[in-house]
Structure 1
Amino acid sequence: MRKAAALTAALLTLAALAGCSTDDDSRGPRWRPRPGLAWQWQLDGRVDPSVDVPVYDIDGFENSAADVARLHRDGRKVICYVNVGAWEDFRPDQDAFPDSVLGRPNGWKGERWLDIRRLSVLRPIMERRFDMCRDKGFDAIEPDLLEGYGNDTGFPLTARDQLRYNRMIADLAHRRGLSVGLKNDLPQIPQLVHHFDFAVNEECAQFDECGELKPFITAGKAVFHVEYAEPTAAFCPDSRRLKLSSMRKKLELGVWRAPC
């Protein structure tokens, strides 16, 4: 009897291990935002919680666990902005990046492109950043600059390099129970839509590219979209038709917003 019981217990243990997920199940089901959700995107300074929308996207370093908790008490979901494609000289972990992975400036003050081929170097840095987002209580991650392969980075990056890196980024978020958005990178949406839980897009209307985001909407996943130069009258009708979560913002991404 004891042998049979031990065998049964062993089989149950094996079955449990076989069914384990790589997600952090202690946080419960991962948030999966649906199309049409209104949102606020504020990366300039500490968050102003006064905008009455269900989703906030804010800087992961500049906001505290208390800021996230305040938004949660107000019934909001909160996305953690993290730059994963460029080094920033104003971040507290700037010294964690060796010089060998730093490329050309990307046009923003204090930023340089990263050599995303160096997964063994960048993975632990991004793991620590995503741990920060999780530990502060964020629901999701907005990883910025996921399309270095299409820019003059100083490295011979290919589309395949970018796919491998972007999939790694999605996996790191999911392992922590966090949802994750695909930031821009429109050409690779067909290969990545199943790896990401939503999309974040800048200026698809200005460049007549919003139709390329349809795979996310078809999959029941939100597309959080902003325009900077186009007036709302020029893009909101199409945004509503496509079920995008659209608004106009100023380039500095402060509190001001003009939603559709």
Structure 2
Amino acid sequence: TLSSSTYPISAHHSADEMHGSRAPWTPAVGASWQIVLKSPLKFGPESEEPSIQPDVDVYDIDVFDNSAETIAKLHRLGKKVIGYFSAGTYEKWRPDSRQFGKADLGKPMDDWDERWVDVRSGNVRAIMSKRIQLAAEKGCDAIDPDNVDGYSHKNGFGLTKADSIDFIKFLSYEARRHGMSIGLKNAGEIIPEVIDVVDFQVNEQCVEYNEGQTFQAFIKANKPVFHIEYPKGAPGSVRAKTREKISNAKGTQGFSTVLKTMDLNGWVQLCDGQQFTTWTEESDDSGSDDDGSGSGSSDDE
């Protein structure tokens, strides 16, 4: 296994010398965003300039499913790109899944066809290092490593908060080595120990679980909270009252909030009521604008 002594505790200072002069992107509090993980993004016909809906600052997309060409198109449109991958679980359908050893795999994850992995394992860390390198090679500006909170689940290894803290410091070091920034996914219990080595929070359901105040630590540190809620009625029939309650929930001041379905497909609703469907490989062409950018509408108040 790797110990924390194999990399600097805080890697901020070394980003420039590690990756030429490319300093990692510093995302701004209040940046607008969309997250689409269910299937790869799709653009309009090649003959036209690419366009995409919604016109937000940041796209969080799957690092395996999307091509370097897709990421380059998002950059041409002035978007920043966060590359998503699961850092703490095994997904058998991923192209590198055979690299995990038996000893790396723990208990099944509740409600998902995944298994927790031993984040202390040198082999698991080598796999994650390659995933981070892939994100960099494809042109991502940042990474969104999911499932880093194994300590709060029956993981099969007795993983602790200290193990997650060490793992996040490792992931941060690797991201910086490739000139990228990194987000903390959920994991509110360990914010004080890792906030200095991450650049933003990607949060799920803090309103539902009444945890908004916990994540205010990021706003205080001038780092954005990219916040997702999965309300009843999504997609398309979220009551205006529900949306307003989420948007104005205690502790969410300054958060970048989106309403999504649990499968994180192309549909999104923003706090102002606007709804969009980002075009993806699985989109029904008839449900999108002709330019392939997706479609938008407002909710019925």
TM-score by length of 2: 0.76
Cα distance, 1:75 vs structure 2: 0.3
Give yes or no for contact 2:30–2:255 (8 Å, CA) kept in 1: yes
1:177 and 2:188 aligned:
no
Matches within 5 A, 1:138-217: 138-217=140-219
Cα distance, 1:25 vs structure 2: 3.1
Matches within 5 A, 1:224-243: 224-229=226-231, 231-238=242-249, 242-243=253-254
Distance 1:211 1:241, change over 3 A: closer
* Partner SS, residue 197 of structure 2: coil
What number of residue pairs does the alignment pair up?
241
Structure 2 Cα separation of the partners of residues 108 and 241 of structure 1: 27
Matches within 5 A, 1:81-96: 81-96=84-99
* Partner SS, residue 196 of structure 2: coil
Distance 1:24 1:239, change over 3 A: farther
* Residues 195-249 of structure 1: CA deviation (Å, up to 9, x unaligned): 1000000000011101111111111111100000263211102379610000110
Structure 1 Cα separation of the partners of residues 268 and 141 of structure 2: 22
* Residues 179-204 of structure 1: CA deviation (Å, up to 9, x unaligned): 00000000111111111000000000
Cα distance, 1:53 vs structure 2: 0.5
Give yes or no for contact 2:205–2:230 (8 Å, CA) kept in 1: yes
Higher relative contact order (CA 8 A, sep 6+): 2
* Partner SS, residue 169 of structure 2: helix
Distance 1:241 1:132, change over 3 A: closer
Cα distance, 1:108 vs structure 2: 4.7
Match of residue 26 from structure 1: 20
* Partner SS, residue 78 of structure 1: strand
Give yes or no for contact 2:213–2:250 (8 Å, CA) kept in 1: no
1:97 and 2:100 aligned:
yes
Match of residue 71 from structure 1: 74
Match of residue 117 from structure 2: 114
Structure 1 Cα separation of the partners of residues 32 and 251 of structure 2: 12
Which portions of structure 1, spanning 4 or more consecutive aligned residues, are displaced by more than 2 angstroms?
A: 19-27, 107-110, 238-241
56-65 vs 103-112, which deviates more? 103-112
* Partner SS, residue 193 of structure 2: helix
Greater helix proportion: 1
Residue of structure 2 aligned with 1:54, choices 31, 53, 57: 57
* Residues 24-80 of structure 1: CA deviation (Å, up to 9, x unaligned): 433622111111111000001111433211100000000000000010000000000
Distance 1:191 1:109, change over 3 A: closer
Give yes or no for contact 1:23–1:174 (8 Å, CA) kept in 2: no
Structure 2 Cα separation of the partners of residues 163 and 67 of structure 1: 32
Cα distance, 1:22 vs structure 2: 6.9
Structure 1 Cα separation of the partners of residues 195 and 130 of structure 2: 25
Residue of structure 1 aligned with 2:32, choices 30, 33, 38: 38
Structure 2 Cα separation of the partners of residues 179 and 237 of structure 1: 29
Structure 1: 5+ residue runs without aligned partners? 1-18
Residue of structure 1 aligned with 2:257, choices 222, 246, 249: 246
